[in-house]
Structure 1
Amino acid sequence: MKKLTKNVLCILLTSVPKTLRKTFSTTAFLLFFVSIAFAQEDSARISELNEVVVKSTRANEKTGMAFTNVYKRDIKKQNLGQDLPFLLNQLPSVVVSSDAGAGVGYTGIRIRGSDPTRINVTLNGVPYNDSESQGTFWVNMPDFASSVQSIQVQRGVGTSTNGAGAFGASLNISTLGYEREAFGETNFTYGSFNTMKANIMASTGLLNNHFVVDARLSKLSSDGYIDRASSDLKSFYVSAGYYNKSNFVRLNVFSGKEVTYQAWEGVPERLLKSNRTFNPYTYPNQVDNYQQDNYQLISSFKLSEKWTFNPTLHYTRGKGYYEQFREMDELANYKLPVSAIGGDTITHSDLVRRKWLDNHFYGITYSFDYQSNKKLSANIGGAWNKYDGDHYGEVIWTKFALTPSNDYRWYESRSIKTDFNIFAKAFYQVTDKFNLFGDVQYRTVSYDMNGIADKLQDITRQTSFQFVNPKLGLNYQLSNQASFYASYAVGNKEPNRTDFIDNVKVPKPEHLEDLEAGYRWANQTLSFDANFYYMNYRNQLVLTGQVNGVGEAIRVNVPKSYRAGIELVANWKFASQWRLNANATFSQNKIRNFSETIVNYDGDADRVNQFAKTDISFSPNVIAGGQLSYSPLKNLEFAWLPKYVGKQYMDNTSDENRKLNAFFVNDLRANYTINPKIVKEITFSLLANNILNHLYEANGYTYSYIYGQQVVTENFYYPQAGTNFLLAVRVKL
């Protein structure tokens, strides 16, 4: 078995690009010598060390905050090829969407109505949100869920963490588990829209009680539900670690390469009934082509009986482009010269352009963990991270004009963002039943932009922000089964790059005060949680409903707004073979005063409409989901996964003509495992999505303008697939 695993690992490593293999080998060599200094023979605590690194940024029952833990065993049941947001679809307050309509390619997640720029994502404590847009592009990490050991979803401001400020939720992802025994595994999925996933995974297991090497190589592809919304995705993950009794050092190298045909323009409202899969793009290479390589050197050292030090070094390299065909675009927009053909002056031309991103992100995260006795524990941590990114646009072909050179650039800019934070947390057990939690973070952000953006506007500016984010929580044990908790947390957040570029008025930083209170009750067969939240915003950047030229949402500050709601979660094992997990969120999401500006193309003044107490866009008042599972046999499970999402407005006017209708979608899942003699196990999985073939749209955008003395409103939608399936087989050696 160990020989087979070794051979599989060799195949995987030879599939990794040569430059990455060289980096991996060099760092692993250094890792070996560093680890010798800490070598001990006792392996009793090895299984506990992995969680130490992410412990400082995770919540627990004593923090007084709402969170959900998702573990590897649950992820594996659902992980048949769809992006990670779709694996979290049944969690409280979650709404997911897919540009291509089938969960592969560009996908998004909202929690409590907050868009991805408000959801802080960390991988092993390392910030993953894009530094400029502050969103998370899951398409850059295809099949990453196959390497995930656990995910904690914190709702609200949550605990202090690294990276972009959390204004709706945090996703804390850990890949730091390991198997004690060597194994090899392969997964293959085929489904609707020619969706395919194939991967191979292997591990050495724990060698000599100290060393472990894990690896994964993945390939995914899909035609998409929307016309031509195809995805061609590749990724790998390699991790090498050294463990001893109280310390470990681990190197993670992982990469994702994606070529995705663009589907971000959406389907016009007038075509929803007649042509739901419409895609206006027909140019063969209208794609997003991007590669992202990630390196993490993670370690934990026990300094004394009371102190542990957890430093992590990281580096991310990203480069790629959007390629777009433009029909009869104005040459002046690209600083191209006007030409004459046959006596005609040529001011417009068909052309093909590429918008490039070329960036580096690197830094250090760390935490000192202190445990004095059963009453007091504390964490002191923080991070220093720097982003250095180039943006430039190339015109690679024109029909009627000549570009000055083959690599002609019509715009070029550079952005440098430095993010520093330090935080301290403490848990104190006041009595046997009562404990307090305190957390304060100081964060500074500096943003330096220089150059010209794609619309030829000068974006040169230097901006800096300083934030203090305190948090306080308490937990009271009412009985052996019941507890009450409450917390108050403050969050502050800087605008992103497009907020500066897309708005004439300089955007302001956002401020949030989050009050949470809840009740938990559990016994051996039933658990119930009720969480109340009130999130009060100042200068929240809300979605206008419009998008810019690359499909990113345009936002504007509103002085006062809030989100208030209650989240209900229940888990009930009401028979030996039956289990029910259910959740529901009931909320109100309001802007106290909102000004809508409608652009007037007739040359008159723009129209400004005033609204009082309107709904925040993309914030449904009701979200419900869950899972009903039945296991007639030990290795056989069937599950029904319903999801209801109430209506959502696409802008902030609460206009019934600019909304996403409520939808109720039902999925079915089946998993069956056998244990033949030739291999350790074989698992067959079936995921049937939207079994009732409900036609619905999970995302969209809208904009209005005045033309010919009339207000014209145009709505665009992202339809999701009707009934579709994924069938998978997993073989573990």
Structure 2
Amino acid sequence: MKRRAAMLAGVLCTGMSMYSQSAPVDSVKTVNLDEVQIISTRATSKTPVAFTDVDKEQIRKQNFGLDIPFLLTSTPSVLTTSDAGAGIGYTSIRVRGTDATRINITANGIPMNDAESHSIFWVNTPDMASSLEDMQIQRGAGTSTNGAGAFGASINMRTQGISSKPYAEVSGSYGSFNTHKETLKVGTGILNNHWAFDARISNISTDGYRDRATADMTSYFLQGGYYGESTSIKFITFGGNEETYHAWDGISKDDLKNNRKYNPNGKIEDANGNVIGFYDNQIDKYKQTHYQLLLDHTFTPAWKLNVALHYTDGDGYYEEYKNTRKLIEYGLEPFTVDGKTIKKVDLVRRKSVESGFGGGIFSLNYTNERLQAAIGGGINYYENDHYGNVIWIKNYIGNLAPDHEYYRNTGKKTDGNIYAKANYELGNGFNLYADLQYRHINYKINGNNDKWDDTKEPEHLQRLDIDEKFSFFNPKAGIFWQINPNHSAYASFSVAQKEPTRNNYTDGLFTELPKAEKLFDYELGYTYRNSRFTAGVNLYYMDYTDQLVLNGKVNEIGEAMAENVKDSYRMGIELTAGAKLLEWLRWDVNATWSKNRIKNYTAYYSTWDSNWNEYDQTAVAMGTTPIAFSPSFMAGSLFSFDYKGWGATFQSQYVSRQYLDNTGNEVNSIDPYFVNNLHVGYTFKLKGFKSINVGATVYNLFNEKYETNGYSASSATYDPESETTTINHNPMYYPMAGTNILCNVTLRF
């Protein structure tokens, strides 16, 4: 069902430029008064938090097909994953070891994380990077923001601003795995001194590195605005359609050695469990549309108001072939063939979601020579219908209604917050910072889940009757000291609290509800900078109560599962440095050493008897153990060359061992890896063009065989004769692509 719409014919090859930071200066870019900006949640150069800005030019230099997480790999403490292995489709990001459900992501101050899962699925907003003005990554608890609390980082995205002059841009990419991207952007510039309009359409498609791991995505971005001397208003809509073949399951160590590209999703088995083929329509298909109305009003030079209304509409499904499933679990009766009762059978099911998310945010900002202050907040409502249908059953004898529905439930969530923050200049280079937030959540889930509950008689689908309320007070405070023009330092303390995700409720134990988690975040930083050299160090200690950590298990669609641990912490040191070695050569590096531990951890293993019937749970006290997916060391390097239109970058990343669960067992771990990417490009001008850029990027230059994600899949077997229990480990991995290339051309008018 590939569309492969060639939106722009005759596009040449060129490559992606890994972004180079001119200097890791942590400051917000100058803002035009006539542009709509929602910036109260952003850190400034004198805010005592650890953050990095990525500007429009840095994004442009590397935006030729890969998802946004892979555009951020050169920033401190960032790890990326890709189910398909090539950075397109289902990708994710971790910061300081925390997963995407604990990274707050906003666009123009509006929450982008799904209100229930707390994740952002970048596949639903393909090529959003082409419509961004900049991004800011705050590590740790960060400043107060809208949406779910930040437990590892915040990513604040700002969509593109207005252009004073008309423009057009055509770009295209082509490379390994039949990967191609086509983008067309146009803008009117300022019309009648007040109006401006911009548009973008994009297509991205790939066969993926792994077998059948295809992705076909289209997207758009439209904005129009009125810009006055004191009032500006902008309407934005953007969205995407995606169709991806599942690559949600990992592969074994044997497959890593013998068949790294193997994808077990969609397999069709015979009666003996042998794979005889793969289901063609094992796909995920989703459409998501965003609407934003942004208002900016300046009362006086000191007082400014930002207001935004938003709505996001989403619907889609995923379809999958399931081998030998119990009919009763799908609300269907066993049937008889030749006197034999058939209770298990192959079938195809489709799980669907329909969601709506809307609300409003605001901030009232005050600025004078010594004080920056803001009062803001927002209220949002979310509703999501989940339901499943059986659309085909092998050799079924009986009455099967078309699209037989076997479960349905509805999630509803109201989320409101209000905050007040101030940054006051005391004098002698000292600034005091305070940030107080109150957040209230009401979350309900009602209906039947898709999980079968065999803990009660009679057995039935898990019944969901969740009605949870949370009230969080999150104070933050800190001090910034500009010692002299070259030296600065800061210290801060923050409290962050966060409610569980939907999966924490539906994929955990039937008899036990997950708890909210709490974080005390301590940060201490120092920066030195001059015209040719910049260096910084940040120390952090993140002390958690009831942290929800990944336990190495995944649910049926490959989503990582988590559990509360009473007492845990993350502590580390982040180093950054950048040097302008020559006028045309720059070197930027970063490194993170960390210690991530759970105190008094107990691991639970599903235990099976000799007939492979689930027998019990085996508890093993482990003592103090490392937190899963939290490497103790990672480092990045970026050489940037720029001379007379020629540009080149050489980017490297090293990541130490990561554990797939919380036991610290090396059997269940991801080996360390060291990956290098090389880009070479050339920019020139021809009559009728503002510029033409061509180039190529070679990813994984030295063909490193590595993995960035996986799960432990550990279990236990019980022998009643010897009364002994044996722990069995079967780690599964998501392999990344070997050496591959992506070429690109960009024409600007």
TM-score (norm 2): 0.90
Show the counterpart of 2:659: 649
- Give 1:72's aligned residue: 56
Amino acid at match of 1:444: H
Matched, 1:423 2:407: no
Alpha-carbon displacement from aligned partner over 1:206-225 (angstroms, at most 9, x marks no partner):
11221110100000100000
Counterpart of 1:618?
A: 629
Q: Does 1:303 find its partner at 2:299? A: yes
Retained in 2: the 8 A contact 1:63–1:487?
Answer: no
1:323 matched to 2:323? The reply is no
Residues in 2 aligned to 1:293 and 1:642: alpha-carbon distance in whole angstroms: 36
Q: How far, CA to CA, are the matches of 1:167 and 1:355 in structure 2?
A: 30
Kindly provide the amino acid, as one letter, of the partner of residue 291 in structure 2. Y
What is residue 118 of structure 1 aligned with on the other side?
102
Aligned to 2:474: 469
Structure 1 moving runs of 4+ over 3 Å: none
User: Partners in 2 of 1:471 and 1:493 — Cα distance?
Assistant: 15
Matched residue, 2:228: 244
Equivalent position of 1:28 in the other structure: none
Please say if residues 507 and 557 of structure 1, whose CA atoms lie closer than 8 Å, have aligned partners that are also in contact: yes
Shift of 1:179: 1.5
Q: Are the aligned partners of 1:395 and 1:403 in contact in 2 as well (CA < 8 Å)? A: no
Match for residue 338 of structure 1? 334
Give 2:164's aligned residue.
180
1:591 aligns with 2:598: yes
TM-fit CA distance, 1:49: 4.3
Q: What amino acid is aligned across from residue 436 of structure 1 in structure 2?
A: L
What's the offset of the Cα at 1:552? Answer: 1.0
Structure 1 regions of 5+ residues with no counterpart? 1-10, 13-44
Answering whether residue 694 of structure 2 is matched by residue 687 of structure 1, we say no
Instruction: Please state how far the C-alpha of 1:47 moved relative to its aligned partner.
Output: 2.6
Q: What amino acid sits opposite 1:284 in the alignment?
A: D
Deviation at 1:46, TM superposition (A): 8.0
Contact kept in structure 2, 1:77 and 1:671, CA below 8 Å: no
Q: Which residue of 2 aligns with 1:378?
A: 373
Deviates more, 1:416-425 or 1:673-682: 673-682
The one of 86, 95, 99 equivalent to 2:70 is 86
Q: Which residue of 2 aligns with 1:582?
A: 589
User: What residue number does 2:650 align with?
Assistant: 640
**Aligned partners of 1:267 and 1:277 also within 8 Å:** no
- The one-letter code of the counterpart of 2:151 is F
Larger displacement relative to structure 2 (674-683 or 284-293): 674-683
Q: State the Cα distance separating 1:404 from its structure 2 match.
A: 3.8
Structure number with greater CO (CA < 8 Å, separation at least 6) is: 2
Kindly provide the amino acid, as one letter, of the partner of residue 475 in structure 1: F
1:72 CA drift (Å): 0.8
Q: Are the equivalent residues in 2 in contact too, given 1:532–1:567 (CA < 8 A)?
A: yes
Q: What pairs up with 1:88-487 in 2 under 5 angstroms?
A: 88-280=72-264, 281=266, 282-371=278-367, 373-401=368-396, 402=398, 404-455=400-451, 456-487=461-492
Q: 1:403 to 1:388 in 2, by over 3 A?
A: farther
> Which of 710, 732, 736 lines up with 1:720 in the alignment?
736
Q: Check whether the contact 1:46–1:245 (CA below 8 A) recurs between aligned residues.
A: no
Instruction: Return the alpha-carbon distance in structure 2 between the equivalents of residues 729 and 425 of structure 1.
Output: 45
Structure 2 CA distance, aligned partners of 1:538 and 1:214?
Answer: 46
Change (3 A) 1:179 1:403: farther
In the other structure, the counterpart of 2:3 is none
Q: For 1:217-263, what per-residue CA distance to the aligned partner results, in whole angstroms no more than 9, with x for missing partners?
A: 00010000000000000000001011112221001111110000000
Find the partner of 2:551 among 544, 548, 553: 544
In the alignment, which residue of structure 2 is the partner of 1:23? none
- How far off is 1:176 after superposition? 3.7
Task: Give me the identity figure in percent.
Answer: 45
Instruction: Return the offset for 1:605.
Output: 4.2
Query: Structure 1 residue 164: deviation in Å?
Result: 0.8
- Runs (5+) with no aligned partner, structure 2: 1-6, 9-29, 267-277, 452-460, 720-725
Matched AA of 2:523: E
CA distance in 2: counterparts of 1:606 and 1:103, whole angstroms: 37
SS of the equivalent of 1:270 reads helix
Determine if contact 1:426/1:437 at 8 Å carries over to the other structure: yes
SS of 2:224 mapped into structure 1: strand
d(CA) in 2 for partners of 1:148, 1:217: 14
Q: Determine the structure 1 residue equivalent to 2:25.
A: none
Per-residue deviation, 1:678 = 2.4
Task: Tell me the distance in 1 between the aligned counterparts of 2:235 and 2:39.
Answer: 19
> Offset of 1:712 from its aligned partner?
2.0
Alpha-carbon separation, structure 2, partners of 1:286 and 1:605: 33
Residue 47 (str. 1) matches residue 32 (str. 2): yes
| Higher helix content, 1 or 2 | 1
For residue 162 of structure 2, give the secondary structure of its aligned residue in structure 1.
coil
Q: TM-score by structure 1 length?
A: 0.92
Give the aligned partner of residue 22 of structure 1. Answer: none
Instruction: Give the drift of 1:646.
Output: 0.7
Give me the whole-angstrom Cα distance separating, in 2, the residues matched to 1:381 and 1:670.
45
CA contact (8 A) 1:336 1:403 kept: no
Distance 1:623 1:244 in 2: 47
Equivalent residue, structure 2, for 1:600:
607
Checking the alignment, whether the CA contact within 8 Å between 2:230 and 2:299 is kept in structure 1 is no
* Residue 517 (structure 2) pairs with residue 522 (structure 1): no
User: Partner of 1:129: helix, strand, or coil?
Assistant: coil
Secondary structure at the residue paired with 1:297? strand
Residue 364 of structure 1, CA deviation? 0.2
- Displacement of 1:604 in angstroms is 4.8
Q: SS of 1:459's equivalent?
A: strand
Structure 2 CA distance, aligned partners of 1:673 and 1:239? Answer: 29
Distance, in Å, in 2 between the alignment partners of 1:335 and 1:268 is 33
Mapped contact 1:124–1:176 kept (Cα < 8 A): no
CA distance in 1, matches of 2:715, 2:578: 49
Find the aligned partners of 2:540 and 2:331 in 1 and give their Cα distance.
Answer: 52
Distance in 2 (CA, whole Å) between partners of 1:324 and 1:630 is 47
The equivalent of 2:18 in structure 1 is none
Q: In structure 2, how many angstroms separate the alpha carbons of the residues matched to 1:91 and 1:732?
A: 28
Cα distance in structure 1, aligned partners of 2:151 and 2:44: 19
Task: Answer with 708-717 or 574-583: which moved more.
Answer: 708-717
CA distance, structure 2, for counterparts of residue 650 and residue 122 of structure 1: 29
Residues 367-411 of structure 1, C-alpha deviations (whole Å, 9 max, x = no match): 00112x211120100010010000000001111334542121100
Instruction: Tell me the number of residue pairs that the alignment of Structure 1 and Structure 2 aligns.
Output: 688
- Within 2, Cα distance between the matches of 1:186 and 1:397? 44
CA distance in 2, matches of 1:153, 1:660: 26
Distance 2:445 2:395 in 1: 34
Equivalent in the alignment of 1:6: none
Does the 8 Å contact 2:34/2:228 carry over to 1? no
Is the CA contact (8 Å cut-off) linking 2:103 and 2:153 kept in structure 1?
A: yes
Name the CA distance, whole Å, in 2 between partners of 1:446 and 1:88: 33
Which of 707-716 and 302-311 deviates more? 707-716
Q: What residue in structure 1 maps to residue 24 of structure 2?
A: none
1:559 paired residue among 554, 559, 566: 566
For 1:677 and 1:423, the matched residues in 2 are separated by 53
Q: What amino acid does structure 2 have at the position aligned with 1:679?
A: F
What is the letter of the counterpart of residue 77 of structure 1?
K
Amino acid paired to 1:573:
K
Aligned match of 2:493: 488
Q: Helix, strand or coil: the match of 1:551?
A: coil
SS in 2 for 1:524: coil
Q: Deviations over 1:99-152 (max 9, x none)?
A: 000001000110000000010000110000011110110000111100011000
Deviation at 1:588, TM superposition (A): 0.4
